[in-house]
Every structure is written in structure tokens, then in C-alpha cells.
Amino acid sequence: MSTPGSAFCCMNNRVVVRSLVTPVGCLVAMDDGLIQWRPNVGINKRTKLDAIATVMVVLRGPSMSIETAVIGDANGGVTLISIPSMDVIDKFAVEGGVVRSMCTVSSSESSFLVATQSGQVWMVGGHVPGRGVHLFTHDGPITSMRLENHIIQIQSGWTRATYGMDGSQTDSIDGKKPFHEKARQRANRRAKILGNEQERSELPQPLMLDLPVVA
């Protein structure tokens, strides 16, 4: 069966926007919403999302083999896809714009933390009330996130912060502060050097006698 020229051209014009390499294959996201699983052994499988993928996570099953892909997209969607069949298992939606980061709540349940461009953090899952609960909003886009001992650790630009599962902020570290301190120290050293040079220029200069040139 031949492929029409227009369809062939369209496939060649796709651009890879995300990829995730695993020991058994590679998960690839295209700029038209296409998601493709490329196993090391076997045939490629694919599915199509309603929006461009922005975050991809894969999960291992009870047998420790990779069984599920969790994909966040530019419309605030979160889609669970089975691997290697690429069948859609479930879909969730959150507010706050583009999904920027995700992590699992625990290895024993299918619920996830989802962070967005606007700084909102949600918990989604089939057993979550209403299938989605807004936990808190951070002041700025969240670029990475992890959960450890029921503490949510986020990175937002230069800022690192920690939150409890109830949304209370427990800590915040401004990553730019050490650079500002070093810049202040450099400015102080430069001012001291310039001050010393100014003092030396104001002192009487020793008389320099012309000396004969030795050939």
C-alpha cells in the first residue's frame, strides 16, 4: 500500500519537541501532538494528543517493566498511556496553563502532582476527590518538582521552595542571593583599589633625572 505524497510530506515535517530515553526504548513527542513509542525490539506504536506534550514521565509496573507514560501538555492536560500498546488509559485536566512538571505521589497509587506555568500545583488521579484538587499556588512558574517524605520541593527560576501537602510553605531559598553577595564583594574590592590609586596620585611625585643613554 502506497502512502500519498501529501501525507508523506506531513510526516517528514514533524518536529520532535520532547523525547525520553529508557533502557527498552524511546518515547518521542512531536509538535502536532503525536506521541510515538520506539522500542529497541519490536514495532513502533503511536497515539495522538489534543495538544503538544510539555512533560513526559514513564512508570514501572509490579514486574518492574515500563508500563505507563504520563504526559502533560500545553493545554493543562495530563494523559496516561499504556506502553507498549500506546492505548489511552485515563485523562485529567488542571487549571493554570501549560504543565511544566509532574511527579508521582507514591509508587503504590496512581495519583500525581502536576505543576503549571502559573505556579499552580494540583493533585490528580482516579481516587482523588473530583479527580483533581488544587493544593497551592507558588509565585512564579514551576520548572521542576519532587515529593519526599510528604514535602513538595519545587524549583522556580532561581528560587527553591518547599511546601506541605496542605499547601503551607515551609521554606524558601533565593538562589540569586549568593551571586548578589559576590557582586557586592567585587564592587567593594574595586572601590578600595580605585581609592588607593586616587590617594597615590595625590601624593608628591619623586623628581626623575634624565640619565644618559648607554649605547
Reported as a single tens digit per residue, the pLDDT across 109-168 is 689 999 999 999 999 999 899 999 999 999 889 999 999 888 999 998 888 999 998 888
pLDDT for the residue numbered 195: 67
pLDDT digits (tens, 9 = 90+) for 86-111: 999 999 999 999 999 999 997 666 89
Contact 81, 87 (CB under 8 A): yes
pLDDT digits (tens, 9 = 90+) for 24-62: 999 999 999 999 999 999 999 999 999 999 999 999 988
Backbone angles phi and psi of 212, in degrees to 5? -65, 150
Q: Which domains are assigned to the chain?
A: 14-93 (2.40.10.480), 98-196 (2.40.128.630)
Q: Which residues of 111-130 are buried (b: 16+ CB within 10 A; e: fewer)?
A: bbbbbbbbbbbbbbbeebee
Q: How many CA atoms lie within 13 A of 129 on its CB side?
A: 3
pLDDT for the residue numbered 168: 85
Please give the model's pTM, rounded to 2 decimal places: 0.72
pLDDT digits (tens, 9 = 90+) for 167-178: 888 777 765 555
> Rounded mean pLDDT of 173-190?
64
AA letter at 62: P
